[in-house]
Structure 1
Amino acid sequence: MTVHVIGAGLAGLSAAIAVAGRGEPIILSEAARQAGGRCRSYHDGQLDMTIDNGNHLVLSGNKAVDRYLREIGAEGRVTGPDRPEFTFVDRQLGVRWSLRPDDGPIPWWILHADRRVPGTRLGDYLALLALMRRHPGRRIDEVVRRDTVLWEKFLRPVLLSALNTAPEDASADLAGAIVRETFARGGRHMRPLISSPSLAAAFVDPALERLRRRGAEIRLSRSLRALRFAKGRAVALAFDGEEQSLQPEDRVIVAVPPWAAEKLLPGVIAPRKFSAILNAHFQIVPPPRACPMVGVIGGTAEWVFAFEDRISVTVSAADHLMDTDSDTLAVLLWRDVAAVHDVTAPVPPCRIVKEKRATFAATPAEEARRPSARTGWANVFLAGDWTDTGLPATIEGALRSGNRAAELALAGA
């Protein structure tokens, strides 16, 4: 049996690593010239440095991330604080504060005014309990009050970044999944972790090396144009310039974007509305002892990240900024960076990265369009953060989807 994995984003890499762990032959095909998909690193000629396309945060409690990094030998390549702490700067009020949850699941921290969101009351935090329950088909604004300080200063910005969708329109069930896997488990599951020194170094390059050592065939710049079907099975893969026949025992894992999957697999229903993410990378060394990650309330930026050689900014659900020119964006975002890190330097060299279809829109309607890993063909399986993982479009969800597709492909092998 040979397992063909189509797509070398994190979902495809996760699937391939899981299959390789069982000793089965693998052919990994990727249309782009590099692996990683939307989690990629590259040398930027304008800044003359290696940057990530975006600032992809994971949490210490992400089980699939932990498992994947251990399997590829990259456990130490995501780093973060020893204790959970989230720092925010309120641009409107000109204040800075930190939220510091307890390590364990009992939220004693909400009893201490200096550890919770300023201006909030204990009763406000019942919103977290409301989100923990299942709410099929309902929006967050149908479940949680939006006229509280907690919503405005914490819940909304956190859910906006987690869902990459305006929380007012987003799925309460997907928000609940985030709450159940973070707040409900305690601070030890909430420590924010960032790839070091880059996304590729943490999630991509070690995976490719592990696959090569296990004999996998990795073919980049190889675009799948069609699958051929007969008697309920895929029987051939049509790539640019070649067609590869499948043996009866072969399996295919399709780990491509949803719009590509709909074209390749007749009858597959996938999300069709998407949300953008904007990232900016400023070529400047952060001030000494700069906080590695700061949330911004009331600014253009939402999160500011301090790396060794640069300061980066992320804006979620950034569709409203996609048509703004890069110079204007650099000025707007630098104002927030300067306020966060108390710097007076002029705008440094900057690279703006726009991902117009970064994730599916996490609304109830689009959530209902997410397909399972199984398809109508016995030997074809789906993977991707847009499939029905129970999570928003996150690294954790992508890796889980790859594991699930591999599990199904290997069943009975």
Structure 2
Amino acid sequence: MSITPEPRRAPPTGIAPVAVVGGGLAGISAAIALAEAGCPVTLYEARPRLGGATYSFQRGGLTVDNGQHVFLRCCTAYRGLLERIGGTALVDLQSRFDVRVLGTAGRAGRLRRAALPGPLHFVPALAGYRLLGPGDRIQALRGSIALGRLDPADPLLDTVTFGRWLAAHGQRAPVRQALWELLAVAALNTGVDDAALGPAVKVFKTALLGRPDAADLGIPLVPLGELHDTAARAAITRRGGAVRLSAKVTAIEPGPAVIVDGARVEASAVVVATRHEQAAKLVPAGAAPGQDRWSGLDASPIINVHAVYDRPVMRVPFVAVTGSPVQWVFDKTRVAGLRGGQYLAVSVSVADTWIDRPTADLREVFVPALRSVFPAARRARMTDFFVTRERRATFRQAPGSGALRPQSATRWPGLYLAGAWTDTGWPDTMEGAVRSGLHAAHLVRQHVRDQESAP
């Protein structure tokens, strides 16, 4: 799959703009790539903002991200998008992968890569991981070696769970919980017993068992809305593209054309960059192979628990937690604009248990859990507590899901799909979304060139 934007060309004359439907990262990436190539493009988004599932809102004087989104150094397509929208200086990228992990009963560990070539760079981290006993550390190392021999593109890996593979390779419960589950849940939004082996192998092999710097974590220094809405919108228009917000596309017709707010708009090509549920309704019946099976991708929820204290209770920018309802905790004080105290965001993936629970119930669970994780919280006063919910945060990356993911091209000339749910070769992540948008833009350019050269 191509992840390089087309070189800039002179704008074609006499052709309708390409219509990009959906203003998430896939649609943004497609629109920027097309505009950079000199192709007229209009991005349509039904909401009054860009960013899709990565956005910000205002609450009590704070700028709140709906959820914490991170990336890795190996996410080259997303990092390229940041560069094109002028966002490189607006994120912090670790110089070396380093994650502090808090366990139960005051136990703590640290996963920090060594200055060694891959995959040896991760051996010292596992060998010194204090949340595992000596025997389990050896098993973790053996499991990593066996995992590195697998090919994530092997279709057989889409038929078995990661948990089943771990059990077959001697990974006991402590290793599963304190290592594999900790990382897989954050990356896949699916537990190891439900996750397909293929995407799990892709994550671990690319991030932890490949280049030594691949897993270095990147975290935004500004609200997501500043990156994925304000900066992205400016990048599109600066290159000559158009963005229409609060513009709902309800149908795609032969031509191709899109129906926007009841009006037919001709297009030289159409990129559908919405969630798979919406795409299934927009794409005409029979236009895309396997369209009737996209609903089988299902969805996996994420919640974010937001807790504001009158004083600092966590001393580091973020931590991972195991053996607790709390999974990953991020200090959002500076990003949100809080002037005093500390604002923590707790990211909870695979949130099926929590997604429909009232906020009052979640408070009864997570406030004591945070006090257990951070003893300083016992002496602090909580000034605000709220929850954001993404019911369909990602598709559920279970066995069989890989076979349901469609290619970008459809049976209709000029109609293409984009989104992290398409067959990107990556799990449902920001990186996958950006790659899908770039690939769709590449196919559109080929289609437009063919149309221009047709007699």
TM-score range, shorter chain: over 0.9
> Which secondary structure state, in structure 2, belongs to the residue aligned with residue 225 of structure 1?
strand
Task: Give the counterpart of 1:236 among 236, 251, 257.
Answer: 257
Deviation at 1:361, TM superposition (A): 0.4
1:245 paired residue number: 266
Label 1:106 to 1:359 Cα distance change in 2 as closer, same or farther (>3 A): closer
Deviation at 1:199, TM superposition (A): 1.2
Aligned pair 1:121/2:137, yes or no?
yes
Amino acid at match of 2:120: P
Deviation at 1:102, TM superposition (A): 2.1
Amino acid at match of 2:367: W
2:87 paired residue number: 74
1:335 paired residue number: 368
Task: Give the counterpart of 1:256 among 274, 294, 319.
Answer: 274
Deviation at 1:82, TM superposition (A): 2.7
Label 1:322 to 1:111 Cα distance change in 2 as closer, same or farther (>3 A): closer
1:50 paired residue number: 63
Aligned pair 1:41/2:48, yes or no?
no
For 1:260 and 1:73, how far apart are their aligned partners in 2?
Answer: 30
How large is the Cα RMSD of the aligned pairs?
1.9
Label 1:24 to 1:201 Cα distance change in 2 as closer, same or farther (>3 A): same
Aligned pair 1:138/2:160, yes or no?
yes
Aligned pair 1:198/2:223, yes or no?
yes
Contact 1:362 / 1:392 at 8 angstroms: preserved in 2?
Answer: yes
Amino acid at match of 1:238: I
Give unpaired runs (5+ residues) of structure 2: 1-14, 152-156, 450-455
Deviation at 1:244, TM superposition (A): 1.1
For 1:257 and 1:18, how far apart are their aligned partners in 2?
Answer: 20
Q: Relative to structure 2, which stretch is displaced further, 257-266 or 201-210?
A: 201-210
For 1:296 and 1:378, how far apart are their aligned partners in 2?
Answer: 49
Deviations along 1:19-61, whole A, 9 cap, x unmatched? 11111111110011111110111112xx331111100111122
Label 1:55 to 1:108 Cα distance change in 2 as closer, same or farther (>3 A): closer
For 1:62 and 1:212, how far apart are their aligned partners in 2?
Answer: 25
For 1:361 and 1:76, how far apart are their aligned partners in 2?
Answer: 33
Aligned pair 1:215/2:240, yes or no?
yes
Aligned positions, number: 403
> Which secondary structure state, in structure 1, belongs to the residue aligned with residue 178 of structure 2?
helix
Q: What is the TM-score of this pair, normalised by structure 1? A: 0.92
Deviation at 1:8, TM superposition (A): 0.4
Contact 1:271 / 1:386 at 8 angstroms: preserved in 2?
Answer: no
Deviation at 1:317, TM superposition (A): 0.6
Deviation at 1:180, TM superposition (A): 1.8
Aligned pair 1:64/2:77, yes or no?
yes
Give unpaired runs (5+ residues) of structure 1: none
Deviations along 1:123-169, whole A, 9 cap, x unmatched? 32222233331324221123222524321211112101111112101
Aligned pair 1:367/2:380, yes or no?
no
Contact 1:278 / 1:352 at 8 angstroms: preserved in 2?
Answer: yes
Deviation at 1:357, TM superposition (A): 1.1
For 2:211 and 2:162, how far apart are their aligned partners in 1?
Answer: 22
1:97 paired residue number: 109
Label 1:208 to 1:108 Cα distance change in 2 as closer, same or farther (>3 A): closer
Amino acid at match of 2:70: L
2:435 paired residue number: 400
For 2:302 and 2:313, how far apart are their aligned partners in 1?
Answer: 28
Deviation at 1:366, TM superposition (A): 2.2
For 1:131 and 1:376, how far apart are their aligned partners in 2?
Answer: 37
Deviations along 1:360-400, whole A, 9 cap, x unmatched? 00012222211111111110110011111122111111111
Task: Give the counterpart of 1:162 among 187, 195, 208.
Answer: 187
For 2:310 and 2:440, how far apart are their aligned partners in 1?
Answer: 42
Label 1:83 to 1:341 Cα distance change in 2 as closer, same or farther (>3 A): farther
Contact 2:310 / 2:381 at 8 angstroms: preserved in 1?
Answer: no
Q: What is the TM-score of this pair, normalised by structure 2? A: 0.84
Q: Relative to structure 2, which stretch is displaced further, 278-287 or 212-221?
A: 278-287
For 2:131 and 2:233, how far apart are their aligned partners in 1?
Answer: 43
> Which secondary structure state, in structure 2, belongs to the residue aligned with residue 244 of structure 1?
strand
> Which secondary structure state, in structure 2, belongs to the residue aligned with residue 278 of structure 1?
strand
> Which secondary structure state, in structure 1, belongs to the residue aligned with residue 23 of structure 2?
coil
> Which secondary structure state, in structure 2, belongs to the residue aligned with residue 211 of structure 1?
helix
Task: Give the counterpart of 2:29 among 14, 18, 21.
Answer: 14
For 2:139 and 2:324, how far apart are their aligned partners in 1?
Answer: 27
Deviation at 1:187, TM superposition (A): 4.1
> Which secondary structure state, in structure 1, belongs to the residue aligned with residue 264 of structure 2?
strand
1:278 paired residue number: 303
Label 1:286 to 1:69 Cα distance change in 2 as closer, same or farther (>3 A): farther
Amino acid at match of 1:126: R
Contact 1:196 / 1:202 at 8 angstroms: preserved in 2?
Answer: no
Label 1:162 to 1:383 Cα distance change in 2 as closer, same or farther (>3 A): same
Q: Relative to structure 2, which stretch is displaced further, 107-116 or 121-130?
A: 107-116
Deviations along 1:302-337, whole A, 9 cap, x unmatched? 111112232100110101112211122133223333
Amino acid at match of 2:128: D
Deviation at 1:109, TM superposition (A): 4.6
